[in-house]
Amino acid sequence: MMSKARRVPVGEQAAASAPPPPAASGQQAPGAQLAAAAPASAAFVGKQAVKVVIRVRPSLPHEADTEACISTTGNQVAIVNPRNITERLAYTFDRVFGEADSQESVFAEVQPVVLRALAGNNATIFAYGQTGSGKTHTINGTASDSPGIIPRTVKCLLSHVGENALTASIAVSYLEIYNEKIFDLLAGEPKSLPNLDLRETASKSIVVSGLSNVVITSLGEFEKLHETALKNRSTAATNLNEASSRSHFIMQLSISNVLENGKTLSSKLHIIDLAGSEDNKRTGNVGARMVESGAINKSLFVLGQVVEALNKGHPRIPYRDSKITRFLQDSLGGGALGLMIACCAPGQQHYWDTYNTLNFATKSSFVKNVVVKHEIAAPKPPQSAIAALLGDYMLGGSGSSAAGTASGSSSGSSAPHGFGAAAFAHPFDLDEIVRQQVEAQLNERVASIRREMMSAAGALRGNSRGPVDSKASRTETGAEVSALKSGAKRVPLSTEWRESMLREADEAIVDGRTKDAITFLKRALVLERADTPLSEHAELVARIAALESGAAHPSNSVASAKGRLKASAAPQAATAASYGADAAGSDADVALAQLKKQTEADIISVINSGDLKAIMRLKQIGKKRAEALVAALAVHGEYATLADLARAGLSMTLISNILQSNLKL
Ligand SMILES: Nc1ncnc2c1ncn2[C@@H]1O[C@H](COP(=O)(O)OP(=O)(O)OP(=O)(O)O)[C@@H](O)[C@H]1O
């Protein structure tokens, strides 16, 4: 137990296995060397090490009888092993805060990062350390007499935002990662809520789908939201902390500044209170506490592996192995600024935890990010139906409510406020707009593939199953809509179609129709989504290459294709049965199915008439959408199904919303 990690005597500097060679005692850590560049109020661009500071909390009243094992001097912190007092280890960091240092002095170290976020850098400030070491105190503090980093950051942002900008806005979100599930802390008490999904945007940032994002213009507005988030956070008493955090707590600030030159600075600042590592023998955890503790320790273990892999230059960094490391991806080895506050408790009983924290902090200080500035050029005038739709979003017209603005939040206004003369209505939805654009383009591609399939289906199959495609698409759309209606999680249409392409390819392989198999596999390739695993993509590419070159690939053998078709037959039957049950269930279900079918036909008929006014009478369709629909009608001909509305740049979500909103036609 005593010698798990290599102990390094004073003068040699700790950081047991941290490459590259640690700085000699008394020298600045690498983060400090790289940090001295642009003034704090300007964005930083270039290589930057994660900045690491240490905070040692004072002894608490119940610890009065215990000796301290840690001491601080200047930028150095030293620990003495209580079992062998000749064993003294010293570490040097960017900054070390001792027990007498105030919340104010800690924030003075944080403020430059906050100002850089305002100038267009993404940034993450996170507190790390064992349970009870002072992370929550540092991040949140106490509202009345000792506010921590979050309230001070918001105050700082509110007083600086809008300087040198035409318009500016700040929006906040709060979430927690509890037992590897993500919950929106502004939406209610987590355990009563569905958990949210993480996804990667086209610009590679990690976002949480459906998270409340509330614009604030005053400290009062922030305080209410903060109180709600803290109330909803999962905490419980353990032997080591009366109010121990049982989750990773994340505050996200979305900052947007529209400059006079028309450019937009758009950044995200994350402030994170990580849950503390726990030794269950000492916390006394059992039952639910033990499960929480398992999830906390596992995610912190992955965090350690991420830092290790980055330092060793591994080709694969295991960000995806836990939710918190995906969140920290941009700040550890990515394009954001990272500031870690490693918290330590002073008592001798915490020696090994403190030792581990200091070693992890040292390793983290060697992680380098390549920091970028998030500046977006002035938007160009809309040129296409998709651009028109996007313009609609930017100008706050009749566009559908963009996800990310106070969705599901009961606590605060969803309407963005500007600090200047003419604020954008949705200034922080750039990620969402990019997503919508990609989705609209994908839908257009899917629609064109479907058209091609419908016209060529008979020829491709060489049998009489041609028209079935159109019916199948209707069934798919119908199933999707009824799943949405019943609140079930939607399986993206592109995923369903991709799977059906793979099945078609297998059938073609079994029938010896190699050319058709290649065609279907290529279509499956086109239908891949951003989250399709790389391994699946590589496998598909290899299968196509093998078929094209006439070489053998195990997955293309007739036996494998037959095996896969057989395996998928059961779920298919089950799905078919469930669709059947939908139609043949209760009278109400039958009536609802008929109503949907009738509504779909009515909507299509109105749109196919090309009468702008009649189309605009449909719910969820304003002037711009109606014009886009009529324009696409002129180019592509009549719409056969609701999914065809994607030709006008409408997303599948919007199409489903149109169907639902018009159900009472
Ligand atoms: N700098 C400080 N000054 C005074 N009291 C502090 C300081 N840091 C922490 N404390 C107190 O120590 C106790 C534990 O701190 P805190 O709850 O912040 O720990 P934690 O690291 O967040 O723990 P956990 O991981 O279990 O949530 C609290 O009572 C807190 O008020």
Considering the domain boundaries, does residue 413 fall inside one?
no
Q: Is the pLDDT of residue 1 over 50?
A: no
Q: Looking at the structure, do residues 576 and 594 belong to the same domain, yes or no?
A: no
Is the CB of 350 within 6 Å of ligand 1?
no
Q: How far is the CA of 111 from the centre of ligand 1 (A)?
A: 22
**Which domain range does residue 596 map to?**
588-665
Residue 566 or residue 339, greater confidence: 339
- Quote the pLDDT of residue 79: 95
- Of the candidate ranges 58-67, 78-87, 392-401, the one whose mean pLDDT is the lowest: 392-401
Is the CB of 275 within 6 Å of ligand 1?
yes
Q: How far is the CA of 230 from the centre of ligand 1 (A)?
A: 15
Which of 136, 145, 277, 340 to probe ligand 1 with, by most ligand atoms within 8 A of CB?
A: 136
Residue 172 or residue 422, greater confidence: 172
The answer to whether 478 and 533 are in contact (CB under 8 A) is: no
- Quote the pLDDT of residue 201: 74
Is the CB of 130 within 6 Å of ligand 1?
no
The answer to whether 97 and 106 are in contact (CB under 8 A) is: yes
Q: Which two tokens stand for residue 240?
A: 């080591």
Q: Looking at the structure, do residues 309 and 171 belong to the same domain, yes or no?
A: yes
Q: Is the pLDDT of residue 10 over 80?
A: no
Q: Which two tokens stand for residue 605?
A: 């008929």
Q: Is the pLDDT of residue 535 over 90?
A: no
Q: Is the pLDDT of residue 610 over 60?
A: yes
- Of the candidate ranges 212-226, 291-305, 499-513, the one whose mean pLDDT is the lowest: 291-305
Q: Looking at the structure, do residues 214 and 194 belong to the same domain, yes or no?
A: yes
Examine the fold and report which residue of 354, 376, 398 is the final residue of a domain before the chain moves on: 376
Q: Looking at the structure, do residues 336 and 314 belong to the same domain, yes or no?
A: yes
Considering the domain boundaries, does residue 558 fall inside one?
yes
Considering the domain boundaries, does residue 306 fall inside one?
yes
The predicted complex's ipTM stands at 0.98
The pLDDT tens digits of the residues spanning 437-487 come to 555 555 555 555 555 555 554 444 444 333 334 444 444 444 444 443 443
Task: Tell me the CATH number at 598.
Answer: 1.10.150.280
Q: Looking at the structure, do residues 511 and 605 belong to the same domain, yes or no?
A: no
Q: What is the DSSP letter of 617?
A: T
Q: Is the pLDDT of residue 382 over 50?
A: no
Which of 103, 104, 137, 246 to probe ligand 1 with, by most ligand atoms within 8 A of CB?
A: 137
The answer to whether 175 and 182 are in contact (CB under 8 A) is: yes
Tally Cβ neighbours within 10 Å of residue 596: 19
Query: Closest Cα partner for 277 from 304, 251, 255, 259?
Result: 304
Q: Looking at the structure, do residues 455 and 494 belong to the same domain, yes or no?
A: yes
Q: Looking at the structure, do residues 508 and 457 belong to the same domain, yes or no?
A: yes
Check whether 405 is labelled as a binding-site residue: no
Q: Looking at the structure, do residues 655 and 540 belong to the same domain, yes or no?
A: no
- Quote the pLDDT of residue 40: 52
Instruction: State the pLDDT confidence band at 576, using cuts at 50, 70 and 90.
Output: very low
- Quote the pLDDT of residue 418: 32
Q: Which ligand 1 atom lies nearest to the CA of residue 142?
A: 31
Q: Is the pLDDT of residue 354 over 50?
A: yes
Q: Looking at the structure, do residues 273 and 356 belong to the same domain, yes or no?
A: yes
220: amino acid identity, one letter: G
Considering the domain boundaries, does residue 251 fall inside one?
yes
Q: How far is the CA of 153 from the centre of ligand 1 (A)?
A: 19
Query: Closest Cα partner for 252 from 281, 215, 278, 279?
Result: 215
Q: How far is the CA of 68 from the centre of ligand 1 (A)?
A: 16
Is the CB of 245 within 6 Å of ligand 1?
yes
Chain centroid to CA 537: 22
Is the CB of 274 within 6 Å of ligand 1?
no
Residue 364 or residue 525, greater confidence: 364
15: amino acid identity, one letter: A
Q: How far apart are CA 518 and CA 303, in angstroms?
A: 42
Q: Looking at the structure, do residues 506 and 631 belong to the same domain, yes or no?
A: no
- Quote the pLDDT of residue 453: 55
- Quote the pLDDT of residue 172: 94
The pLDDT tens digits of the residues spanning 284-314 come to 555 565 666 667 778 888 888 888 888 888 8
- Quote the pLDDT of residue 43: 79
- Quote the pLDDT of residue 456: 53
Q: How far is the CA of 243 from the centre of ligand 1 (A)?
A: 9
Considering the domain boundaries, does residue 423 fall inside one?
no
Which residue has its alpha carbon closest to ligand 1 atom 2? Answer: 57
* 3-state class (DSSP) for residue 272: strand
Q: Which ligand 1 atom lies nearest to the CA of residue 274?
A: 25
Q: Please name the residue that has the structure tokens 């160009």.
A: 380
Q: Is the pLDDT of residue 105 over 60?
A: yes
Q: Please name the residue that has the structure tokens 């990310």.
A: 404
Examine the fold and report which residue of 376, 395, 411 is the final residue of a domain before the chain moves on: 376
Residues whose CB falls within 8 Å of the CB of residue 413, separated by 6 or more in sequence, listed in order: 214, 215, 406
Which of 55, 56, 57 to probe ligand 1 with, by most ligand atoms within 8 A of CB?
A: 57
Instruction: State the pLDDT confidence band at 184, using cuts at 50, 70 and 90.
Output: very high
Task: Tell me the CATH number at 157.
Answer: 3.40.850.10
Residues facing 199 on adjacent strands: 207
Considering the domain boundaries, does residue 381 fall inside one?
no
* 3-state class (DSSP) for residue 57: coil
Q: Which two tokens stand for residue 224?
A: 């209410």
Considering the domain boundaries, does residue 416 fall inside one?
no
Check whether 144 is labelled as a binding-site residue: no
Q: What is the DSSP string of 186-218?
A: TSS-GGGSPPBPEEE-TTS-EEETT---EEE-S
Residues whose CB falls within 8 Å of the CB of residue 320, separated by 6 or more in sequence, listed in order: 326
Q: Which ligand 1 atom lies nearest to the CA of residue 243?
A: 17
Structural domains in the chain (count): 3
Is the CB of 134 within 6 Å of ligand 1?
yes
Q: Looking at the structure, do residues 579 and 593 belong to the same domain, yes or no?
A: no
Considering the domain boundaries, does residue 424 fall inside one?
no
Is the CB of 57 within 6 Å of ligand 1?
yes
Is the CB of 247 within 6 Å of ligand 1?
no
- Quote the pLDDT of residue 99: 93
Q: Looking at the structure, do residues 240 and 343 belong to the same domain, yes or no?
A: yes
The pLDDT tens digits of the residues spanning 386-440 come to 334 333 333 333 333 333 333 333 333 332 333 332 222 233 344 444 455 555 5
Examine the fold and report which residue of 584, 601, 616 is the final residue of a domain before the chain moves on: 584
Check whether 129 is labelled as a binding-site residue: yes
Residue 16, φ and ψ in degrees, nearest 5: -35, -65
